[in-house]
């Protein structure tokens, strides 16, 4: 994207830097796939070195407005103000684990892999306020979530306790 374009105030961005031989340099400028004014993309980030296949980056946008639920839903239905979202990006490591012709290019570009929403998306939930990554597990906080549920996997649709908060755990399957 164009780093000088400021048509969407407070939409947010993530700048990725790498250190080589003691020098830091910018390697990527990342934006949400559904950039919107005031989404605060980049409010929270988590980086996991992962495995030989690459590096994973989770980016929270706690003021994103889509009413989608779960993984890769409709990003463009902005009817749930400040519900929040998390975007998971992946960058291949460049380490080849199979035989390929020497002339085959290996991309080291960051690519968005998934768009994550809560299973019970609601207005002002703030999903993505904080994120954590560990290997194939993603943990997302939604500090404004209103469920009265207690413990694990309770009734998440009983929104009778305002801003009680919730944590969502996702595990990648291969």
Sequential pLDDT tens for the chain (174 residues): 566 667 777 899 999 988 889 999 898 899 999 999 999 999 999 998 766 567 899 999 999 999 999 999 999 999 999 999 999 999 887 544 444 445 544 456 889 999 999 999 999 999 999 999 988 899 999 999 999 988 898 888 888 889 999 999 999 886
pLDDT of residue 4: 64
Q: Which two tokens stand for residue 47?
A: 């980086």
Say how far apart CA 110 and CA 121 lie, in whole Å.
27
Q: Is residue 17 part of a domain?
A: no
Is residue 43 in some structural domain?
yes
Which is nearest to 141 in space by CA: 123, 156, 152, 125? 125
Let me know if residue 7 belongs to a domain: no
Rounded Cα distance between 50 and 158, Å, is 36
Query: Does residue 29 lie within any of the structural domains?
Result: no
Residues in the chain: 174
pLDDT of residue 118: 97
Tokens of 123: 């207005």
Q: Is residue 18 part of a domain?
A: no
Three-state DSSP at 156 gives coil
Residues 6 or more apart in contact with residue 45 via CB below 8 angstroms: 14, 57, 58, 59, 60, 131
Whether residue 8 is contained in a domain is answered as no
Give me the domain span that covers residue 77: 38-95+103-171
Cα 116 to chain centroid distance, Å, stands at 7
| Res 51: pLDDT | 62
Structure tokens at 109: 């570009």
Q: Answer whether residue 107 is part of any domain.
A: yes
Q: Structurally, how many domains does the chain consist of?
A: 1
- Chain position carrying tokens 């809560």: 118
- Helices first, then strands: H and E counts in the chain: 0, 9
Q: How far apart are CA 162 and CA 47, in angstroms?
A: 31
Residue 21 falls within a domain, yes or no? no
Which has the closest alpha carbon to 29: 49, 13, 6, 43?
Answer: 13
């Amino acid at each position: 994207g164009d780093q000088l374009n400021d048509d969407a105030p407070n939409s947010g961005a993530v700048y990725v830097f790498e250190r080589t031989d003691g020098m830091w340099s910018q390697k990527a400028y990342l934006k949400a796939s559904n950039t919107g004014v005031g989404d605060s993309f980049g409010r929270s980030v988590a980086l996991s070195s992962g495995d030989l296949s690459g590096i994973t980056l989770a980016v929270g946008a706690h003021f994103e407005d889509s009413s989608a639920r779960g993984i890769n839903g409709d990003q463009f239905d902005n009817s749930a103000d400040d519900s929040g979202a998390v975007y998971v990006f992946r960058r291949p490591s460049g380490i080849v684990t199979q035989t390929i012709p020497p002339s085959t290019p290996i991309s080291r570009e960051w690519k968005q892999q998934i768009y994550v929403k809560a299973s019970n998306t609601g207005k002002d939930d703030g999903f993505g306020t904080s994120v954590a990554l560990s290997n194939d597990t993603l943990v997302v906080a939604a500090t404004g979530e209103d469920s009265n549920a207690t413990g694990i996997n309770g009734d998440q649709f009983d929104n009778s306790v305002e801003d009680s908060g919730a944590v969502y755990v996702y595990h990648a399957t291969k």
